[in-house]
Each structure stands twice: as structure tokens, then as C-alpha cells.
A and B are shown apart, each in its own frame.
Chain A
Amino acid sequence: MRKILALAWNNIRLELSDRSSLVFLLILPLAFTYIIGIAMGGAYEPESNASTDTRHPVIVVDQDASALSAQLIAVIETSQIIRPVEQNLSDAIDIFKGQGVSAYVVIPAGFGASITTGQPTLLDLVTAAGDNYALTTGQAVQAAVAELNAILSAAKTTTDILVSLNASSLPYDQLLQENLQAASAVAAEAPVTVLHTGPSATTSEIAVGFAQTSPGQLVTWVLITLLGSSVVIASERTKGTLYRLMAAPLSKGQILAGIILGRLALGLVQIIILIGFGSLVLGVDWGSSYSALALLSLSFALAAVALGLLIGVLSKTAAQARELTTAISMITAALGGAWWPMEITPQLYQTAVKILPTTWAMQGFTDVILRGQDVSGILIETLVLLGFAVAFFAFSAKKFDYE
């Protein structure tokens, strides 16, 4: 075992002695997680509690500044899907065009006065074409407006009836205001409510932005690192160092184990750094079961390093191994759901990509992070990943040659 550890440590030292390796191990994964997170909508978080409030921000431009416009904003605030963020029109358009939000609402000047005088009032809702969340945010704004409409209609109908029956001595406007307050109080205590829940043990909120991109980027970059074992194998073989190792009192298994262990350690350290970055800097909730996260990470790392070994064994030169590593990493990560959510792809696609270890890794990470699953909830994914590892190791061992 000491020999294996010595070989592994030597491989780690060699890798880290080249400072450009750090670019792949650290700088690129962190930069990509951040950039892709921004592109997927995780950047615009204007409120101090944004890290805990995962509702989609919707900008509200209140050009009326009346009691009724404030009431509309208060109703939107009660939504479980969107949260209102007040801005002026110019900033709203800038943020919208910069892809910071999926929608903005303009409450026009005279909004309150029109309602009070019984005039139909228009509210502008602008959603981004092609934005994944435009439909849901639009729906939520419509639901909030429907709720305010209900209050207004109830108050107005009641006021009209009281006036027609001569049942009140108050002027119309004052009576309407009183009924508006009464209707708001009734609506607030309505006996019907919708509760949004989810399977996560830690939160019922749906994760967005960085929470979606962090695991995807982790799978992509750790895969690149671990498949890098192919370059080590191919390079040692072409340089003849593998052949020279034969002279040492080491078995073929020990040599392979040393290379694998070194690369595995790098991959696992990278996983820890990426999880820490996601959690501490980007506020991503990585679930409540550390043991499940560790088990899944280890089985994914084993499958990936074994695949790297196989690529290394099959490659004739280190350059070839490097080319294959880049191409295979990117294609399998993309296919497996690391770049986009699987739900937006056709069913046939979802079934077809189950042949890849990245698909099972992403499924496992989704189970742990978003569904709050523990070890028992990711057993199937773990076993499949370990199965991949065994198959890749077995095939590599069969094909392995010192020269």
C-alpha cells in the first residue's frame, strides 16, 4: 500500500508542479460556474435576503405611488413564485435587457384614480420572449392581479348595491374605500389557500440559477480532471517510464492503482472545492446528507477515472489522449444533463442518454441537492456508477500494455 501511495503522491506532485494545471483544477471551474450561473439567471439578486428567497424577481415600476398601487405590490409579495423588486422604468428596462429578470410590470400614473372612479385600468406586463421562466412569472403576475381584481370587484359591487338601496349615508368614494379595506381583510382570511411544497428536507423552495448550474459544472470539470488520467497513462507509456517501472518491485495492479489514486485524489479535492465555492460564495444548498454527497461523488469519481484509464490505454500518444479527453468530457457532460436541465429535452433523448455515467451522476446530484435524498435515495445511481467503474477498469486492465 505504501508503494501505491508513494506513486500516487508522485503523480499529484507532477501534476501540481505545472502551474497551468491549476487553471483546469481551480480557475476555469470556478469561472465557468459563475459565468454560466449568470447566463442561467442567477445573478440579479437585489435584496439582502436574496440568497434565502429563491422566488423569481419581477421588477415593478410604480409610476402611481398610490395606496392601490402599493396594495398590488403587497399582493405580488404574497406570491410563492415571484417576488416584486421596485425600480424606475429606465433601470427596469436595463435590467430586463441585461437578462436579469424574465418580466417587469408597469403600474401607470393614474392607476389608483381610475380604479376609484370605476374606470377600466390597464397594467403593462412585459415578458422576455424565449425566456424559460417567462411563462411562470407571467402566470404569477396574472394571479396577483386576479386577486386584486377580486377585492376591487367585491368592494365595488357592494358599494353599488348599498348606494342603490340607499343603505349608507356616506359619499360614494368614502364608502368604496371602506369596502375596499373590508374586502382586503376578507380576502386575507379566505379559507382556501395553495401550499407549495417539495421533497427537500431542508427547503420547499425551488432552486434557480447557481443551484442548477453548480452541479452541472462540477460534473463537467471533475470529469475533465479525472479523464486526465488518460494523459498520464499515455504519457508514461510513450516516454518509457512505465516500462522502466517494470524493473521496480511493483505489480501491474500497483502501478495502475498508483496512477488512479493520484488522479482520484485530485478529482475529490476539486469536488470539495467546487462544493465549498457553490455553498459559501454562491449560496447553493447542497442538501442535508453529507454521506450521500460523499458516496455519490466517490462513485462518480471512480467511474470517471476508470474511463480516463480506458482512454489512456486505447490512446497511442499523450496528445491523442488529451484530444480525446477534451472531446469526450464535453460531449458526455452535455449529453448527461450537465449543461441544460433534462426536463426540456424529449423523452426519447432522456432514455437514450442513460447509457452515460454523467447522466447518472447528474441524476444523483439532483436527488441529493434538490430532493434532499439520503444514502438510500441514491443507491441505484451509486450502483450504476460503480458498475461503470468496474466495467471500465476491467476492460482497461485487459488492454493495458507497458509499451
Chain B
Amino acid sequence: MKILNVAWKEILTTYRDRAALITMLVAPFALTLVMLFAFGNSGTVVLENIPVAIVNQDGGELGQALVDVFESDELADLLEPSLVGTATEAKALVDEDKAAAAVIIPAELTSIITTGGPPATDALATIEVYQNPGRTLSAQIIAGITDQFAGNIVAGYTSGHLLWETLTASGSIPTDELQIQIESLVNASISNTIITVNATEQNISQAQSSSDFNWAQYMGPSMAILFLMFSVARGGRILLVEQDQGTLSRMLASPTRPSHILIGKVLGIVSASILQMLILMVAMRLLMNVSWGPFGPVLAIIVAVSLAATAWGILIGTRARTVAQAGNLGTAISLIFAAASGNFYPRSTLPEFLQKASLISPNAWALDAFESLAQGGGMQDVLIPVIGLLVMTLILGSIAVLSFRRRYASAQA
């Protein structure tokens, strides 16, 4: 009964603290909302309507052909091209972050290639792609499109130049027919593809390897776990706060066994944590339509991760010397665990050494479990992570109990 009283008091204290509620409930909810706002339910980055400023100083067909490429139906969703009068204006748009890149087509582009007869070798037409370094991805897509277009021009030029030299030297075709013959040969040459690129996309992350992967279903619990660690670290501090305020000594002086005090505290923190996760789960389901997965496996993960996180929190609380130190340590460990175990990015996209090293954190095991659920998995898929979390609880809990006994001895002294 005394254990339950201590636990109940702990839950009440936690949920009466409005600032704590911000970390426990408001922050994870808000961050999930932001993530969904920024990336949608799929979590995939889809670039569209990339603004590109084009300056066509070339009056010929090649300049127009490049403009046509950027204005083609095929690229209509990806690009938002606009024709600009001068290079200065176009570059200003990039500098002002109103365009991802400016493509400046030189005046001599067509004439340098299609003057008839042997191409001049000393002239040079340079297409400039002025890229916005703040929009790396978009700018490089525009540069890539321009590179491919220029590659086609070079292909035609190379064929034309080589054929002109060879056929002129051979003297086998009359000069007045040469130009027509070469044009037809160049066209045939360009369409003759010798090397074909067999391009395939491969899923390198476990998360992406399933077409059923639901990013929102992963990110919702991920944010909840991130802030669960913060709130549990705060729970661990409670012991030190009580010691500072003298209430721990008073409790120890009461006819309550120290082990009951510790069990009551732990039970309170674990219950508050489970409640925190359940509230977030329900709130995300009702307000964002984000499901965490089937209830049975989700509940198993929630209980296991709450236990493991509490074990970490209590361990920090029993090892730290002051409340401030416990606060700093708790926040630091929470942040390290979050970065190393994939709270901000799908866990499987992190380097392998980080994925392995992060298994000391509750976050990693729980995220593995939620990743399985996000791919359509069930109870059998979360069993190993759940067992991992329980083993972690056992080990850390044992160390925490030993530390608490030492602290209890010093408190009684």
C-alpha cells in the first residue's frame, strides 16, 4: 500500500507540473506535427516547382531547344522556368534566393555549331549555370539537365567534325553533296546507342525496403520516445531533489522500508511514462490520424521502453551528485541517444557502427520495434526488441539499486 502511495504521489507531482507537460506531451506532439507538415506522410523528399531563370541570348535553334527542354511537359512538375532578359537579372534572382539556378545561353551557341562546312576550332560557346548554394539539390538537377543537353550537342559536333574531316580527305563524296550527307549521317550516329545504362534503384535501408513502410507511423512514436527520455531523466532527478529538500531523509525516517520508497518512486515514474506514451498515441491517432500500429505490440513496446528508460533515469539520479548535474547528464544522454539511434532520421539510414553502438539506448530497441510495425509487422516482430529492453532494465536497474543503497547509507548517516 505504501508503495502505491509513493507511486501515486509521483504521478500526481509529474502531471501537475505544467512545464513538464510541455516536454512530455506538447513538444513531441508539436515536432511530429512539424515533421508531417514539412515532409508529408511519406517522409520522402519530393522536389517540385524548382524555380529556374533562363536567359536565352542565342537567336538560333539550339538555344531555343534548350529552353524547350526546360519548358517540356516531362519536366513541368519538377521545374518552374522563367525567361529573363539579362544575365545580371537572372543572377540577381539566384542571389535573392528566388531561383535555384540561372541558365545563361550564350549568343553564339547555334552559330558555332551550325555554320556549315568545317566547324571552327578556336571559338567556344559556354552555357553558364549559376547555382544557388542554398538550394543544393535543386541547383544540381538543373545543372545535370544542362550537362545532358550539352552532351547531345557535343555528340552531334563530334560526329559532324570527324565525318567532315574523313570524307573530305577520302574525296569519295562530291563537295556539294557533303553537307547533306553529313547531316544525315550525324543524325544516324547520334541515335546509335552503343552503351546502354541499366539504371536500378536499390533500397539500402531496412525502413525503405518495404513498400508498406509508413513514415508517419515511425516518426510519431520516435518523437514520443525522444521526449520520454527527457521526462524520465527528470524523474531520476526527483531523488536528488527530495534529498536536497530533506524529504528523502524524512521518508527514510518513517516506518517505510528504503526498498519500498525506491520501488514506489520507480513505479510512479514508469506509470507516468506509460501514461505519457499512451496519451501521445491516442492524441496522434485522433488529431493527426497517425497510427502507431496494432495495440498489443504497441503496448508491449511502450511498457518495455518505459521500464528501460526509467532504469536509465534512476541510474543517472543515483550517480549524479547534484540536481543540476543530474539535469545536465540526463539531457545530454537523452540527446546522444536520440542522435545515435535514429530519432531524427530513420534508424536504418545511419552508419552501421552507430546502429550497433546505439543499442545501449532504449531508443534504438524501441525504434527497431516501431520500424517493424511501420512495415506492417506484428507481435512476433517486436519480441526481440522488447526482450532487449527488459534485459536492459534488469542490468541498469540492478546497478541503480546498488547505487541507491550506497546513497541511502550516506543519507542515513
Q: A-facing mask of B186-215, CB < 8 A → 1, else 0?
A: 001110111111111111110010000000
**Is residue B128 contacting chain A, with contact meaning CB distance below 8 A?**
yes
Chain B residues with CB under 8 Å of A27's CB are: 332
B196 touches A196 (CB 8 A): no
- Please determine whether B31 and A191 come into contact, CB atoms closer than 8 angstroms: no
* Given A123-B196, A323-B22, A327-B26, residue A128 in contact with residue B127 (CB < 8 A): no
Question: Is A135's beta carbon under 8 Å from chain B?
Answer: yes
Does B199 lie within 8 Å of A183, measured CB to CB? no
Interface size on A, residues (CB 8 A): 116
| CB pair B158 A207 closer than 8 Å | no
Inter-subunit contact A334/B31 (CB<8 Å):
yes
Which B residues are in CB contact (< 8 Å) with A154?
A: 155, 158-159, 162-163, 189
* Mask: chain B, 10-49; 1 = CB below 8 Å from A; 0 = not: 0000000111101100110011001001110000110101
Q: Is the CB of A335 within 8 A of B34?
A: yes
Contact B198 A161 (CB under 8 A): no
A135 lies within 8 A of B161 (CB):
no
Pair B325/A115 contact, Cβ less than 8 Å? no
Are A28 and B335 closer than 8 Å at their CB atoms?
A: yes
Q: How far is the CA of A24 from the CA of B332 in the complex (A)?
A: 7
A36 to chain B, nearest CB (A): 7
Question: Chain A contacts of B200 at CB under 8 A?
Answer: 124-127
**Docked complex: A110-149 residues within 8 A CB-CB of B:** 115, 118, 120-136, 138-143, 145-149
Write out the residue numbers on chain A whose beta carbons fall within 8 Å of the beta carbon of B44: 130
Flag whether A158 is at the interface (Cβ < 8 A). yes
Q: How far is the CA of A122 from the CA of B161 in the complex (A)?
A: 27
Provide the bound-state CA to CA distance between A371 and B130, in Å.
Answer: 11
Partner of A327, one of B23, B127, B151: B23
Most buried by B among A98, A121, A196, A197: A196
A186 and B157 in contact, given A81-B147, A165-B170 (Cβ under 8 angstroms): yes
Within 8 A of A (CB), among B85-144: 91, 94-95, 100, 109, 112-113, 119-121, 123-141, 143-144
Interface of chain A: mostly helix, strand, loop or mixed: helix
What's the interface size class on B, roughly? 35 or more
The answer to whether A319 and B234 have CB atoms under 8 Å apart is yes
Indicate with 1 or 0, residue by residue over A174-218, a CB within 8 angstroms of chain B CB atoms: 000001001100110111111111111000001110001000000
Closest to A141 in B: B197
Pair B126/A193 contact, Cβ less than 8 Å: yes
For the complex, is A109 an interface residue (Cβ under 8 Å from B)?
Answer: no
Q: With a CB–CB cut-off of 8 A, which chain B residues contact A153?
A: 155, 159, 189-190, 192-194
Which residues of chain B have C-beta atoms less than 8 A from A193's C-beta?
124-127, 150
Q: B158 to A200, Cβ gap below 8 A?
A: no
Query: Is B230 on the interface with A (CB-CB < 8 A)?
Result: yes
Q: Whole-angstrom distance between the alpha carbons of A182 and B194 in the complex?
A: 18
Tell me which of A28, A212, A326 contacts B136 (CB under 8 A): A212
A383 contacts the other chain (Cβ, under 8 Å)? no
Tell me the minimal C-beta distance from B15 to chain A in angstroms: 14
Asked whether any CB of chain B lies closer than 8 Å to the CB of A395, the reply is no
Which residue from A31, A121, A167 sits with its C-beta under 8 Å from B194?
A: A121
Check A340 against B202 for contact (C-beta < 8 Å).
no
Identify A192's interface contact among B45, B153, B227, CB under 8 A.
B153
Which B residues are in CB contact (< 8 Å) with A191?
A: 112-113, 119-121, 123-125, 157
Residue of A nearest to B45 (CB): A344
* B154 touches A (CB below 8 Å): yes
A245 interface residue per 8 A CB criterion = no
30 residue pairs of the A-B complex, CB under 8 angstroms, read: A20-B332, A24-B332, A31-B336, A31-B339, A39-B349, A81-B144, A99-B204, A128-B201, A132-B137, A135-B144, A145-B197, A146-B152, A148-B195, A149-B195, A151-B158, A153-B194, A154-B189, A187-B154, A191-B119, A193-B124, A194-B146, A194-B150, A206-B139, A315-B19, A319-B234, A327-B22, A327-B23, A343-B100, A343-B138, A371-B95
Contacts A18-B322, A198-B131 known; 19 new A-B pairs at CB < 8 A: A18-B325, A120-B194, A125-B197, A129-B208, A132-B137, A139-B148, A150-B152, A157-B192, A161-B185, A165-B172, A179-B162, A190-B153, A194-B129, A206-B131, A206-B133, A320-B19, A322-B327, A331-B27, A343-B134
Query: Which residues in B have some Cβ–Cβ distance to A below 8 Å?
Result: 17-20, 22-23, 26-27, 30-31, 34, 37-39, 44-45, 47, 49, 91, 94-95, 100, 109, 112-113, 119-121, 123-141, 143-148, 150-159, 161-163, 165-167, 170, 172, 185, 188-190, 192-205, 208, 227, 230, 234, 237, 322, 324-325, 327-329, 331-332, 335-336, 339-340, 344-345, 349-352, 354
- Counting from the closest, the 10 A-B pairs by CB-CB distance are A150-B155, A139-B144, A320-B19, A370-B133, A20-B328, A167-B170, A154-B159, A327-B27, A136-B140, A157-B189
